[in-house]
């Protein structure tokens, strides 16, 4: 399998729920974000149109 020879077009992806925790005013606040992850290269694809 060749890698990185052709730029991945992220044609195949899964949508996962990813928990991210940020410290806000001294308290840890956890949000759940919908994130697309490419099935081919594993890269996160940011798409803020996702609801």
If the CB atoms of residues 43 and 47 are measured against Zn ion, the closer one turns out to be 43
Report which of 31, 39, 25, 40 is spatially closest to residue 15, judged by C-alpha positions. Answer: 39
Determine if 38 is a binding residue for Zn ion (CB under 5 A): yes
Q: Which span (16-24, 25-33, 36-44) binds Zn ion, by CB under 5 A?
A: 36-44
| Contacts for 30-34: CB closer than 8 Å, 24+ residues apart | none
Residue 10 touches Zn ion, criterion: CB under 5 A: yes
Count of residues of this chain found to bind Zn ion when the rule CB under 5 A is applied: 6
Judged by CB under 5 A, the residue of 8, 35, 36, 37 near Zn ion is 8
């Amino acid at each position: 399998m060749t890698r990185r020879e052709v730029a991945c077009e992220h044609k195949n992806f899964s949508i996962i729920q990813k928990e991210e925790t940020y410290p806000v005013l001294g308290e840890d606040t956890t949000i759940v974000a919908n994130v697309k992850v490419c099935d081919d290269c594993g890269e996160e694809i940011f798409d803020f149109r996702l609801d």
